[in-house]
Structure formats: structure tokens, C-alpha cells
Amino acid sequence: MLYLILHPLKRPAEKQADLLRATLTLHGIDYVECGIDTVPNGATIVTDCFVMETPCGDPGHDIAQAIIDQAAGQNNKIVFYYPSESYATLSASFCPTAEQLQVKNITGYLIKCGNWDIDGYAKNYNMPEFFAWIINNEFNRARLEYTYNQIDTTEKTHRFLFLNGEWRTNRERFFELFRSAGLLDASIWSHRSGKSADGFGPESDWSDPFVHPDFRFYAYYPSHYYQTEISIASETTQNEWFPTEKTYKSLMLGHPFVVYGGQHSLTKIRAMGFETFGDAIDETYDLAPYPQERADRLVESLRTANIPKPSRHNRQHFQKVANSAYGNLIKILQDIDNNVIIKENFEVDTTILNKYFLN
């Protein structure tokens, strides 16, 4: 039996809990969502709360603190479940959490997205499939197939898809370089300073694009992709490998893309088994060691780019990566707790499929 103690509020990554519930349910794993008072001695706790994770007043810190305090006296294992985008977004909460585990001699495990190790955890596990799973299962196959077909056959109205969200220093400079190069007029774009006519979807669907995380992370407008030739993923940070929904949506749809992110971002995407578009776009910008140099070289690459063909390989490989998340998570949990047993005679009925996988 696994004991899930999850954050009570909706957050941009709240669907991580749905991934956990759906995967456990799909394999017939026994679990219960509960408070800390009902967890028995020696049991394995799974939580998405961390010490010092959130601003003052958020319940996540107190929940994590209560779990750690009780686990110290009850010999509980704690699985910290946070398949988020990057080490950068997690370090502020992981480090103080890890310090407490060390001081209290608690066995802790971290399930995360990315390739970084955090000192203080007994084991670290990576789940790069998180965003793939989310996007793949939020929208049914018919909608994906429709978008694929439109991307492959529709005459393009714009060169670039260039959507920008929160302020980042290097991102702002890149946006100004892009604008100065005269490329904005050839784009479907958004920025806090303005947007193109097609920059966002209907107001009723996305009334405020800067505070509505569900759309940003989990949805896409087909026309944004089938009306454009190249997606520009201007990532959250240009100092590390930090793929977010901007990159994953392009991979899912087979839409040609460039990434303004950490050095070697394209190299790492290829290492994951995906294609990039060096036959039509000069990708040597990805090798530049400094963010400003990468921005300069990327703008020049976009200015001189040919028209790349959509990647059917990326669509197929994306599905393969997404579907592996279910089995990977179960293997991780079985490695941590040998009492996690798959019920081989468990039948997945239509209620489960509709709730988690066919919506």
C-alpha cells in the first residue's frame, strides 16, 4: 500500500498528480490518499510537497514539514514526486528538504524530470516523459491526427511561431534582436509588449495568457502550428538544459523548431531520439557557449533558413516516449518499496480509460 499525501491546491504542474493516480490505477496498485496521521510505521509516503517550496502562506511547506517530522519517528520512506521541467525550478525547495532528510537520517527518494542529482537523497530518478504524457493524453487522437494533416498540407501564412510568456533577461534581448531583424512581421507572436492578430486563442478560452497556466502547459491551438513553418522555443533559461512545453509541443506535432535555450539543447534533443532540422536551418548556433552569442547566431539562422519539412519521426517517437512513462513509474516505485505489486488480473474498465486517458 502506498500513502499519497498531495498538495491540496491547483498549481501549474498539478497534472503530475493525475499522472501518478492514473498510472497506479492502470496497474491495479493499492494506494490511498490521506493525511499524515493515518500513515502506519514503515510505510512508503509519496508526496509532491517540499520544504520552503512556496511563498509564505502556502500549505505545501507545512505538509512537507509534518511528513518529515513524523517519518523520523516511524521509519517511513518518503518519495518526493516532482517531475517538473528543470533543476533550476526545484533547487530552492529540494536543497532545504534534502538537508532535513540528512539531519534526521530519513530515507528519501526523488522522482524528477532532468539529469541532475541532488545531494541528500538515497536515490534520484528521472522522468523526462512528464510533459509528453500530459500533452498526449489531454487531447484525443483525432485532434492530433487532424493537426498533423493540417501541418503537412496547409499553405503557410507565416514563417515563425514565436510565443513569449514571463520576463527573462536573455529572452528579452532575443526578442528585440528578432524584432530588429524584421522577422516579427512574418510571425504569429506574443509578448507582453503586444501580439500579432493570431497571437493568442479566443478570449473565452484564455482570458489572460499570463496567469492561466493550464493553457500554457497543456493545450495548443492547431492553427498556430499549421499556419507556420518554424516554432521558436525561447526557453525559460539559457544557462542549462531546460526543456518545457514550448519544445515538447513541437516534438509532439512534428513541427519544425529551433530552441533558444542552454548550450547543446539540440544535441540533447537528438540524444533523446528526436530529429532536428539542420538540413534547412543552420544549427551551429546551438554550439555557442554564451547566451548572447547564441541569440545573435540564432537570429541569423532564422533570417537565412529554408523551409523545413515536418517530422513524422518526431510524432511517432513522441508517442513511444510518452507511453513509456506508465511502466517507468511503476518500476521506480517497486524498486523503492517491494510491497508495490501489480495485480495481473486487474481489468481496466472504460471508467478508468475515460477519466485519465481518453479526455
Cβ proximity of 264 and 234 under 8 Å? no
Tell me whether residue 223 is exposed, middle or buried, using C-beta atoms within 10 angstroms of its C-beta: 0 to 12, 13 to 18, 19 or more: middle
For residue 205, the model assigns a pLDDT of 44
Average pLDDT, the chain: 84
Least confident range from 126-140, 226-240, 259-273, 337-351: namely: 126-140
Asked whether the predicted pLDDT for residue 359 surpasses 50, the reply is: no
In this predicted model, what pLDDT tens digit does every residue of 275-326 receive, in sequence order? 999 999 999 999 999 999 999 999 999 999 999 999 999 999 988 887 777 7
Cβ proximity of 280 and 308 under 8 Å? yes
Cβ proximity of 287 and 263 under 8 Å? yes
Asked whether the predicted pLDDT for residue 137 surpasses 70, the reply is: no
Helix (H, G, I), strand (E, B) or coil at 155: coil
User: How far is Cα of residue 277 from the mean position of the Cα atoms in its chain?
Assistant: 22
Asked whether the predicted pLDDT for residue 91 surpasses 50, the reply is: yes
Return d(Cα 194, Cα 87) in angstroms, integer.
31
In this predicted model, what pLDDT tens digit does every residue of 3-44 receive, in sequence order? 999 998 876 566 778 878 888 888 889 999 999 999 999 999
For residue 209, the model assigns a pLDDT of 45
